[in-house]
C-alpha cells in the first residue's frame, strides 16, 4: 500500500525479483488506474500554467503604472506634437556645429526612434544631412544654434514651431541650441529633452532625477546622463497620442503660462510660434 500525489491509498503489485523504487511502485498499477491518476494530475498543472500565462502581462504592466505618477516620475502631456505616423526629416545647420558634435546630436534621435512602436506615436525622425539655412518644409525639423540663453531662467535650448492649422500639430520646427552649450554629453541631453517636447511632453522640474528626460538640468554644460526616454516618458507619449486620436488641442500657450506649481525656472524651453514666411 502506498499513497499517490493526492494522498489516495493504492494497492500495488509487482513481479517476484523485480526491484522498484517507492516512486515506481506508486505508478506500477493497472492501465485504468494510471490513466485516471494522470488525468487528475494534469488538470491542476494545466490550470496552474494557464494562471501563470495570464498573470505575466499583468505583472509586467503593474510596476510601470504604479511608478509613473505625473509630476513625481512622469511629465504631463499636452504640448506640441508631430502628426501621428509621420516621418520627420531632420537637418542640422552646417555652420553651427562641429563635425565631432554630430554623433552627440544624432544619438538621442536614435534613442527616441528605438521606442517608436512602444510609444504608439508612429513618429520617426530621419536624419537627412546638413542644411545651409533653417527649412520651413512640411515635417521638417532643423537643429541649429541661436542666442536663446536667458540669464534669469537659465534656459539654453528652445523649440520654435509653426502650425499651419493653428493647433498643436506642428508643420515644421527648429530646435535652437545656445552657443554657450558646448559640453557634448549635455548637448545629447538637451536634444533628447527637446525631442520629448516634439512628442507632446511638458517639462517636469518636480520629477525625480532620472525618472524622465523632461526634468531640469542642474546647470548649463553639466550632463544629467539622460540620453533618451525612460519608461515613464514612453507611457506618457503613448497617452498623448491616444488623446490625439480623439481630439486635437489648440496651439499650446507660451511655456511660462503652462509651468506647474512648484516648478523651478531653470533651463526652461519656451517655444516660439514662428509666423509663416
Residues 86 and 8 in one domain: no
Q: What is the CATH number of the domain that holds 107?
A: 3.40.390.10
Report whether 200 contacts 77 (CB < 8 A). Answer: yes
Residues 91 and 51 in one domain: no
In a domain, 167, yes or no: yes
Report whether 78 contacts 240 (CB < 8 A). Answer: yes
Residues 54 and 87 in one domain: no
Q: Is the pTM of this model over 0.75?
A: no
The number of folded domains in the chain is 2
In a domain, 70, yes or no: no
**Cα–Cα distance measured from residue 259 to residue 262, given in angstroms and rounded to the nearest whole number:** 8
Between β-strands 87-93 and 272-273, what pairing exists: parallel, antiparallel or unpaired?
Answer: unpaired
Q: How many CB atoms lie within 10 A of CB 6?
A: 9
Residue pLDDT tens, the chain, 277 long: 443 333 434 444 444 444 444 434 443 444 444 444 444 444 444 444 443 433 333 233 223 445 899 999 999 999 999 999 999 999 999 999 999 999 999 999 999 999 999 999 999 999 999 999 999 999 999 999 999 987 666 679 999 999 999 999 999 999 999 999 999 999 999 999 999 999 999 999 899 999 999 998 888 899 999 999 999 999 999 999 999 999 999 999 875 444 433 333 333 344 444 444 4
Residues 28 and 123 in one domain: no
Exposure string over 113-130, b if 16+ CB within 10 A, otherwise e: eebeeebbbebebebeee
Task: List the domain range (segments joined by +) for residue 143.
Answer: 77-273
Residues 32 and 155 in one domain: no
**Cα–Cα distance measured from residue 147 to residue 222, given in angstroms and rounded to the nearest whole number:** 19
Amino acid at each position: 500500500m502506498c499513497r499517490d500525489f493526492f494522498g489516495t491509498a493504492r494497492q500495488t503489485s509487482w513481479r517476484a525479483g523485480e526491484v522498484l523504487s517507492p516512486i515506481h511502485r506508486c505508478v506500477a498499477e493497472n492501465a485504468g488506474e494510471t490513466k485516471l491518476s494522470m488525468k487528475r494530475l494534469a488538470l491542476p498543472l494545466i490550470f496552474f500554467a494557464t494562471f501563470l500565462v495570464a498573470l505575466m502581462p499583468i505583472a509586467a504592466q503593474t510596476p510601470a503604472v504604479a511608478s509613473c505618477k505625473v509630476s513625481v516620475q512622469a511629465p504631463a502631456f499636452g504640448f506640441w506634437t508631430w502628426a501621428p505616423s509621420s516621418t520627420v526629416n531632420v537637418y542640422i545647420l552646417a555652420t553651427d556645429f562641429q563635425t565631432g558634435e554630430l554623433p552627440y546630436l544624432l544619438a538621442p534621435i536614435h534613442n527616441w526612434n528605438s521606442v517608436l512602436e512602444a510609444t504608439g506615436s508612429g513618429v520617426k525622425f530621419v536624419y537627412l544631412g546638413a542644411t545651409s539655412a533653417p527649412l520651413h518644409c512640411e515635417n521638417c525639423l532643423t537643429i541649429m544654434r541661436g542666442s536663446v540663453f536667458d540669464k534669469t531662467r537659465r534656459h539654453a535650448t528652445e523649440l520654435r514651431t509653426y502650425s499651419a492649422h493653428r493647433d498643436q500639430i506642428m508643420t515644421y520646427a527648429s530646435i535652437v541650441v545656445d552657443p554657450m552649450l558646448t559640453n557634448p554629453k549635455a548637448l545629447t541631453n538637451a536634444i533628447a529633452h527637446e525631442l520629448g517636447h516634439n512628442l507632446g511632453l511638458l517639462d517636469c522640474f518636480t520629477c525625480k532625477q532620472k525618472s524622465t528626460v523632461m526634468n531640469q538640468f542642474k546647470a548649463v554644460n553639466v550632463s544629467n546622463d539622460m540620453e533618451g526616454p525612460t519608461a515613464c516618458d514612453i507611457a506618457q507619449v503613448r497617452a498623448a497620442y491616444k488623446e490625439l486620436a480623439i481630439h486635437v488641442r489648440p496651439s499650446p500657450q507660451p511655456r511660462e503660462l503652462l509651468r506647474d506649481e512648484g516648478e523651478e525656472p531653470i533651463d526652461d524651453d519656451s517655444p516660439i510660434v514662428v509666423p509663416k514666411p
